[in-house]
Structure 1
């Protein structure tokens, strides 16, 4: 294709392109400095010209004939072939701005000119090399069991503390929690419109900026860490209460280390194992409920009446109910983990899992709390708060049920620890591929294929949580509640953002906006309540959050930080080798390209894609990819728009790749291989009605 022909064709065809005035607005957005704008030898400015073809003819790198790259056949498809073809060869010699640091030249600031490439992508190549690996699809029961272990296991560490802080009003507090759960059932179901693993991190990556998604990821890491620590500490308390093993503090750390070793050995979560544990736990809870009801009938309501008439913890019923509500939010922890494995669930299963979980919470936690108050005096509950359900089992059915309850508690809670280690591996792997965590975390053990750096990092975070809280299960529960509530609040915010910014997404369920706001208000109130109850936990949460978020922010802003360091080091002659190392590091940080797939030539859409890359990615290379079946179908002004943006953003090389073939999710996967990038680095707009975002295997939606 002759790009000059397209230039002439676009002279009068598109008034929008002819009348563009991007310099003042877009130059500022791209971070150009005043000294660059004032350069007497600056590149031609769009605002100085009245028509686009004149600009393109007078610019330093006018569009020339497109280069053709052969991708071969299905048998000879060369991986990363387009990566080398798009390597920038024309550098600062063609760019007239003065260098910020003369002795370093301009190469470290100017990204280089882009180019246009044409290629063919035959159907047989796509069929063989564009396959997107499918996750194992599980049904409703198994999917429910995985998250159900955590949700129903919450009763083991919720009942006792809830009664301690709310007294006789604990069942009312937990019923209010169930109201929030039922609202969140629909919030989570609507978010199923983005069926990507990664939970709220993936949702905010689709609906917001990378930095906001990083904040959500930190909350998820703390949520998983607190879940692992609370589960390990509670299991240790149950084991010590039953068998008097020894120091609970040491035992908690030992449990965490043991499951870290299992994760390092390559042990992974199994839906079948989860199903067995889930049914054992439900059977144990049912047996405990039935035995408690029988005991209540035989002994009457004297204990229940005594507990009801006893002074409440604060003497203020509404405050007690509110305190119980704040702590009782732990009763459905684990629900937020269901979106983490949505890709493994069969179509239509996700919404059913949300329904099942909401009813499980309603039928277990408030009921078990009420029966505990009907059987045990408050003083005995306070004395056995950390293993109250096993003590309840001994009271209503003797030693056998206590033993069964303790064993069940240890199995369920240890299963929660393993799930946390498995969940963190998937989350941190996703984040490392998105450049939010160091890529060395992706190194795997060659024998077990486990990500040892991720597992050891998470183990360190968990041990720090135990040390900082001194293994206090009440403090750990409050920290867990704050992290969990922060994640819940982010899910509600993600729902509102997707309603506004991604309205074209097909949704299986719609949650009313006022219901989302109501649920968000309830969660924020619970965060405030827990913060007032234990300001120390807010401090601990903020410190952990600040350290992790600061590290991620440094990675997101790595290029800016390195540029400042280069600028500082270059003015110190004694730091020549340091400057050289920083320059190499800067080049590596900016070297990995990203691809944006477009089906039209609207320059404002392409401009938004360029701005998204500048603001969210460290790269200096954007590749615009367009699929076509016939040459006549190529948008007239696509090459012109690419050239304009390439000049408007000198710190971003913008290529245009014209692909003769049919656009599909498999074609995107095939092009990712040809470009030598992961599918996480492929960007698209909202898919139409004919396809869903989950079909694209990790490609990111960046605009409506």
Structure 2
């Protein structure tokens, strides 16, 4: 409602205009507009005392009067529909009452003590959820990254031959471009589920869902490739294994599904234990192989060099080998993208250390082990497809060391399964909070806090992925490299959009240069093209899986649109409306659509600028399936409420007939506990509360606010 203190610049003093009366108010007293400043003699009320002749209303006055006349038609209780006869319903058997939402309302809210207590509890839970230190957090991603030496080294040797150490060294150095990019993103938006959550905060939900599809496929590939290679490695050492390789992979998945149900902290501790054992094993292997090389000399390396360079003396041929080796060498870095996906679980200030702890050992292990393999093992044996590192262990320290390394391979590769499962759970939680997947994915095991629905669903998805690939490790591995590259490309895209669309957002540390971002963006398609050129068939599997998941997420996000199309088809056949069974089915479909679209969302408005409010409502209209929106303004009594906020909210309520626009004035300080308390009071998740981009002096963390940034 317009408050009485507003001055209405409408003509005719001393008269009551019945068209300007609001049903819920007394008569509006019109105020004469100012006359020409050249002849006016104004008193302290703004009137010209020398001229009592009323002038015609100004453009502003007439426009404001029109708004009032249109809004006076609202019912007292804000019931009724914004029904426009000029826009008939597209449905034969439905009127405009289905197409248009009801009128919005204006209300004030004082948060109760119960809501404030729940808000404080939510913030404390968010803070207590940051339980991972630099080593436990490194364990989850580290098992995937550092365990990849068991399958990246043979893959690179098959392509780059004796130039493999060069290829692997260059491939691992590439991550120096990504580390500052990921660090800046995590500093600005310390939210789990990245890069899906990054894209959601800096662009549209459609682009974010494409990122979520790639990310889910990447985590699934991480889990199944790790499990399958662990089983394959074991089968290569134990020929009389009582079960096939695919069954071994399923057993590994089952075991680590149970471990992941223990919760994030316990799972991270298990992962760190596996990583520590792996690093210890690799240190023993490197020392033993170095000693063996010192005793044997470099004769084997010279022989391998002679064999590997015969027939490939041209610089172009050498460059081609090295380039393809770099393209496949990125397999040794898979798992690095898992760290940002659980950044909200990592203690403040530790994320930079986690990336360092994962990256530096990856450079050392991949390069040094590759050099030792070429120095001690004949090239034909390396290319024979055997377990290269276990052979290196036997050459260096005998059969006992080989058994030790085989155990390490199985153990650390199983850790990669754990990293994939837990990273996927963080992503599915974010998708559930944003109403992309059902809220059952938020259900937790009471004792451990593990999202058991997410865990079990993801493991089933991994099994389906493995089955559709005919349990072929080659197909999954080839597709995995393309998925990983695409996911890594999402990070520089996210940072570029953040700098352009959310440049005012505060972040700690040094900002990444534009040249670094553009160079990373350039390298992704180059390496992607190299993988496709080496194995063209991989792009077919990549496209098929990605398109399938994107279609699923798009359907889940656009449920109401799909239901409308179904009802429209049903509506075209009048006979179906006569049969009791189909008529009941149609009524159920209408109720379901109404239920889904009446789930509210919030806009947190700081000012009354109508352009900003319009842009935010437009974002909601194009990215969320809802017909119910609340504009929320937090205010303190001494500061008051922006003068035009109520009027502008009513204008926007009329401008969007398909959305009910409420204005809610909350007397409280705008901070994370108050936002959480409001979420509890309204029953609206904080993830569906939208706000404009805060400035660099904003003192609250976006992770604690839990809101979405939708405008500059």
- Deviations 1:306-364, CA, capped at 9 Å, x for gaps: 22222469942111111111111011111111112211222221122223322122211
Aligned 8 A contact 2:141 2:419 in 1: no
Kindly indicate whether the alpha-carbon contact (under 8 Å) linking 1:61 and 1:113 is maintained by their aligned counterparts in 2.
no
Match of 2:44 in 1: none
1:128–1:200 distance in 2 versus 1, CA, 3 Å: closer
Q: What residue is the counterpart of 2:333 in the other structure? A: 332
Cα distance in 2, alignment partners of residues 264 and 313 from structure 1: 54
Q: Structure 1 residues 521 and 145, CA, compared in 2 at 3 Å: closer, same or farther?
A: same
In structure 2, relative to structure 1, the CA distance for the partners of 1:512 and 1:155 (3 Å cut) is: same
1:215 to partner: Cα distance: 0.6
Task: Rate the CA distance shift 1:223–1:695 in 2: closer, same or farther, 3 A.
Answer: closer
Question: Are positions 1:473 and 2:473 aligned together?
Answer: yes
Would the alpha carbon gap of residues 588 and 440 (structure 1) be closer, same or farther in structure 2, given more than 3 Å must change?
farther
Contact 2:281 2:408 in 1 (8 A): yes
Counterpart contact for 1:158–1:328, Cα < 8 Å: yes
Q: How does 1:421-436 map to 2 (within 5 A)?
A: 421-436=421-436
Deviation at 1:394, TM superposition (A): 1.1
SS at match of 2:107: strand
Match of 2:288 in 1: 291
- 1:128 deviates by 5.1
Q: CA deviation at 1:143?
A: 2.3
Q: Could you say which residue in structure 1 is the equivalent of 2:98?
A: 108
Q: Partners in 2 of 1:450 and 1:329 — Cα distance?
A: 32
Assess, with a 3 A threshold, how the Cα gap between structure 1 residues 89 and 304 changes in structure 2: closer, same or farther. Answer: farther
Q: Is 1:378–2:341 an aligned residue pair?
A: no
Other-structure match for 1:41:
none
1:279 corresponds to 2:286: no
Residue 657 of structure 1 deviates from its aligned partner by: 0.4
Partner of 1:211: 206
Say yes or no: does 1:604 pair with 2:611: yes
Cα drift, residue 264 of structure 1: 5.9
SS at match of 1:195: coil
Which segment is superposed worse, 437-446 or 242-251? 437-446
The question of whether the paired residues in 2 share the 8 Å contact of 1:228 and 1:462 is answered with yes
Structure 2 partner of 1:158: 152
How far the C-alpha of 1:696 sits from its partner, in A, is 2.9
For the residues of structure 2 that align with 1:147 and 1:456, how far apart are their CA atoms?
A: 21
Name the CA distance, whole Å, in 1 between partners of 2:393 and 2:9: 81
- Work out whether 1:590 is the aligned partner of 2:597: yes
Residue 229 of structure 1, aligned match among 220, 224, 227: 224
Post-superposition shift, 1:89?
4.0
Q: CA offsets per residue over residues 83-139 of structure 1, 9 Å max, x none? A: xxxxx8433569875444363222221011111111223788535544322213332
Q: Structure 1 residues 319-328 or 567-576, which shifts more? A: 567-576
Task: Determine the structure 1 residue equivalent to 2:342.
Answer: 341
Partner of 1:5: 4
TM-score of the superposed pair, with normalisation by structure 1: 0.86
Aligned CA distance change for structure 1 residues 549 and 50 (closer, same or farther; 3 Å): farther
Q: Distance in 2 between matches of 1:313 and 1:233?
A: 35
Matched, 1:694 2:702: yes
Change (3 A) 1:474 1:376: farther
Aligned equivalent of 1:119 = 109
2:63 maps to 1:55: no
Corresponding residue of 2:652: 645
Corresponding residue of 1:81: none
SS in 2 for 1:121: coil
Structure 1 residues 311 and 483: CA distance shift in structure 2, 3 A: same
Matches within 5 A, 1:489-508: 489-508=489-508
Contact kept? 2:671, 2:700, Cα under 8 Å = no
Partner of 1:462: 462
For 1:548, the equivalent position in structure 2 comes to 549
Match of 1:520 in 2: 521
Deviations along 1:393-435, whole A, 9 cap, x unmatched?
1111011111111111111111111222222222112212212
Note if contact 1:122-1:661 (Cα within 8 Å) is conserved in structure 2: no
Q: Offset of 1:373 from its aligned partner?
A: 0.9
**Equivalent residue in structure 2 for 1:90, among 77, 80, 85:** 80
Residue equivalent to 1:191: 185
- Give runs of aligned pairs for residues 231-246 of structure 1, distance below 5 A: 231-244=226-239, 245=241, 246=243
| Counterpart Cα distance in 1 of 2:400 and 2:639 | 80
If the length of structure 2 is used for normalisation, what is the TM-score?
A: 0.85
Structure 1 CA distance for aligned equivalents of residues 500 and 415 of structure 2: 38
Unaligned runs of 5+ in 1: 13-47, 68-87
Residues 114 and 537 of structure 1: is their aligned pair in 2 closer, same or farther, counting only changes over 3 Å? same
